[in-house]
Chains A and B, each alone.
Chain A
Amino acid sequence: MFTRTSPHHLAQARLAKKVLWSIPTYVSLVAIAVVMVAPFIAMISVSFQQGEGVSVFPIQWIPTAPTLNNYLHILQASDILRWFANSLLVATVGTLVAIFTATTAAYAFARMDFPLRNVIFWSFLAMLMIPSQVTLIPQYLLLAQLDWLNTYQALILPGITSAFGIFLIRQYLLGLPRDFEEAARIDGASELQIYLRIVLPMLKPAIATLGTIQFLNYWNDFLYPLVVTTDSNMRTLPAGLATLQTPTSGLPELLAGATIAIVPTVIVFLALQRYFTRGIVMSGLKG
């Protein structure tokens, strides 16, 4: 009787209840995780499967005789290496330039006073309301006029300005004290020196966030590269792989290609998880 109501016993009962409650939680979490990951596992399994013809069902979740033939074949039969290199180049250069343009503009907006500041700022933000598909056709015609279709500058340029990025960095800067900048100014530093030596280092976390989002946008973009490139040599991974005619390469080969495209993204995501999730939530909350 006495022991039954002891605090120790109560705590034990509470713990037991908690454990009991957690079982259905874990069961549903595992079930959902299976649904989320299964398409990727299926893709990877079949990409290593010896498969002639179209039907590779039922899926051998663990291939009985794993082979690299599908990978060798897609590497030979398509320009996938070139697409991979294009994607990497476009995303890397685009992201670096985007960081440069967003931080310089944000520095001006947050720390300097100049005529038309608010007008320009709002005209940038207004572009968030216009879906990229709406500006796509005039962009295409403009690039055609410049004879820039099928060039790297066409793939990179329109994406390097990010209203969201400028907004993100500006907000971050507004939350930082100006003390270091003022001190440097008194010491005779130029604005460029202040930007390079003081502002950029302070912005590191915001830049990491912007960089990951920007890279992902370039890496995953489909409609834009599909429209501004027609030459297979200039396609990015999604645009190249998705327009690859299935008859020319069988399904296992295509899935090997998809694996080549998806797995690096997932690895980078897992490595930089913190920035990704924070950035994506922030880009979602921009509204």
Chain B
Amino acid sequence: MAKFISNTTLYPQTQGKQSTAHALRARRRRQILIAYAFLAPSLIIFLVFRHLPAAGSLIMGFFDWTGISTPDFIGLTNYNNLLHDQVFWRALGNTVEYTAIVVPSEVVLALGLAVLLNQKLPGLKIFRMAYFIPVVTATAIVAIVWRWLYQPAGLANEILQIFHIPAINWLADGRFALPSVAIMAIWQHTGFNMLIFLAGLQSIPAEMEETARINGAGRWNTFRYVTLPLLRPVIVLAVILTTISSFQVFDSAYVMTGGGPFYATTTLVFYAYQQAFEQYSMGYASAIAFFLFLIILAISLLQRRVLRGDEDVY
């Protein structure tokens, strides 16, 4: 009864509330519509050119497909074939070897450069700029230049000659081809890691190093026991980023060696490229690419794990 009365007495008011609720809902709908309108350009392109192909690469691995014929579902056959494909194992081995050369060299050199450049001396900016120039250039074009420098009568051998080392057939000798490609990568990307380390070094409070110096620690010990531990998260980051990009190497191998001699520089991406666009085995190539994705996913997850405990360091 009381409820009824209150309801009737409040009727006009409720009416008002309902219409405000209605208006609110309409406003909310409008807001959502506007939000999606702003999002639409990205969302559409993401769905069509990223999400769909990402799902596609997983699915295609289960098919035998030239790209033109009707796709043929073959289950795990592509993956099973991968396990028995010697070229695939060679490509994986090459990629790992390349990464094992590039990552430690780049990180150590970059750290050294960053420490050199993190001093209060005039003119260091110019050097920082010079070291960064190779980073902004196109790998494929730089590889044209290096292919030429690596020629038997080229600059690389001229330099060896100065040190009385016999000439090397850099790109045509199976033993040296992959390290030659790796050397160019080190030359090209050290400047990138150097910048990351410089940013890391500059975020270390100067007092911490000064305190160590005042307490009698030498330059090396200060670096070893104060700077280096503080840089740990940045070093982990540089290692991970360099590892991921090393696993994706393609441009330099394509231009300098074409994967040769005798598969010596056939990397994972190069092999996937060959399978897809020279052999037209789209399914098989997708399986290789998906394998690459799994490796990179594993490395990224590893990074999260390693860095988890470090949040408070920074």
Query: Which of B45, B195, B254, B285 counts the most A-chain CB atoms under 10 A from its CB?
Result: B45
Is there contact, CB below 8 Å, between A138 and B153?
A: no
Which one of B131, B136, B300 contacts A33 once the chains associate, using CB atoms below 8 Å?
B131
Interface string of A96-133 (1 = CB under 8 A from B): 00001110110111001111010010011001011101
Closest residue of chain A to B282 (Cβ to Cβ) is A137
B221 to chain A, nearest CB (A): 16
Residues of A within 8 A of B251 (CB): 222-223, 238, 242
Chain B residues in 8 Å Cβ range of A238: 138-141, 251
Partner of A287, one of B36, B117, B300: B300
Give bound CA distance, A276 to B132, whole Å.
Answer: 10
Q: Whole-angstrom distance between the alpha carbons of A100 and B40 in the complex?
A: 11
CA separation between A246 and B246, bound complex, in Å? Answer: 27
Q: Which of A107, A251, A285, A287 has the most CB of B within 10 A?
A: A287
6 residue pairs from A and B, CB less than 8 Å apart: A137-B272, A137-B285, A255-B145, A262-B141, A265-B138, A281-B199
- Whether A158 and B155, one on each chain, are in contact in the complex, defined by CB atoms closer than 8 angstroms, is no
Main secondary structure on A side of the interface with B: helix
Alpha-carbon distance A58/B34, docked complex (angstroms) = 65
B300 near A141: Cβ-Cβ < 8 Å? no
What 1/0 mask marks residues of chain B from 274 to 314 whose CB sits below 8 Å from any chain A CB?
00110000100110011011001100100100000000000
CB-CB under 8 A for A135 and B191, given A42-B149, A191-B34: no
Could you tell me the distance in whole angstroms from the C-beta of A73 to the nearest C-beta in chain B?
A: 16
Further contacts, 10 of them, CB under 8 A, given A32-B113, A241-B144? A104-B41, A105-B38, A114-B35, A133-B248, A134-B292, A238-B139, A242-B255, A280-B192, A281-B199, A284-B237
Q: Is A59 an interface residue (CB 8 A)?
A: yes
B60 near A223 with CB under 8 A, answer: no
- Say yes or no for B50: interface residue by CB 8 A criterion: yes
On whether the beta carbons of B290 and A134 are closer than 8 Å, the reply is yes
Q: Report if B208 contacts A (CB, 8 A).
A: no
B289 and A136 within 8 A (CB): yes
Residues 225-284 of B at the A interface (beta carbon under 8 Å)? 237, 240-241, 244, 247-248, 250-251, 254-255, 269, 272-273, 276-277, 282
Chain B residue nearest in CB terms to A225: B140
Total residues of chain A contacting the partner, CB 8 A? 88
> What separation, in Å, do the CA atoms of A141 and B237 have in the docked complex?
35
- Write the chain A residue with the least CB distance to B247: A131
A222-B121 in contact (CB<8A): no
Q: Which residues of A contact B293 (CB under 8 A)?
A: 129-131, 134
Most buried by A among B39, B145, B248, B269: B39
Across the interface, do B250 and A104 meet the contact criterion of CB distance under 8 Å? no
Q: Report the nearest A residue to B124, measured CB to CB.
A: A29
Residues of chain A at the chain B interface (Cβ within 8 Å)? 22, 25-26, 28-29, 32-33, 35-40, 42-43, 55, 57-59, 100-102, 104-105, 107-109, 112-115, 117, 120, 123-124, 127, 129-131, 133-142, 144, 157-158, 160-161, 166, 191, 195, 216, 219-220, 222-223, 226-227, 237-239, 241-242, 251, 254-255, 257-258, 261-262, 265-266, 269-270, 273, 276-277, 280-281, 284-285, 287
Instruction: Give the residue of A29, A115, A138, A242 whose beta carbon is less than 8 angstroms from that of B141.
Output: A242
Highest count of chain B CB atoms <10 Å: which of A55, A108, A133, A266: A133
| CB atoms of A142 and B53 under 8 A apart | yes
Beta-carbon contacts of B46-58 to A below 8 Å, as 1s and 0s?
1011111110110
B interface residues, Cβ below 8 angstroms from A: 31-32, 34-36, 38-39, 41-43, 45-46, 48-54, 56-57, 60, 67, 113, 116-117, 119, 121, 124, 127, 129-146, 148-149, 151, 153-155, 158, 187, 191-192, 195-196, 199, 237, 240-241, 244, 247-248, 250-251, 254-255, 269, 272-273, 276-277, 282, 285-286, 289-290, 292-293, 296-297, 300, 303
In whole angstroms, how far apart are the Cα atoms of A109 and B60 in the complex?
A: 33
Contact call A112/B31, Cβ cutoff below 8 A: yes
Tell me which of A57, A58, A141, A284 contacts B192 (CB under 8 A): A284
Also in contact, A223 and B149, with CB within 8 A (given A32-B131, A36-B131)? no
User: In the assembly, what is the distance between CA of A285 and CA of B307, in Å?
Assistant: 13
Q: Is the CB of B158 within 8 A of A58?
A: yes
Are B42 and A137 within 8 A (Cβ)? no
B140, A131: Cβ atoms closer than 8 Å: no
A214 and B144 CA atoms in complex are apart in Å by 24
Contact, CB under 8 Å: B289 / A133 = yes
On whether A112 and B54 interact (CB within 8 A), knowing A101-B41, A241-B141, A242-B141, the answer reads no
Q: Are A266 and B136 in contact (CB under 8 A)?
A: yes
Tell me whether A281 and B195 are in contact in the complex, defined as CB-CB below 8 angstroms, given that A100-B41, A123-B51, A137-B60 are known contacts: yes
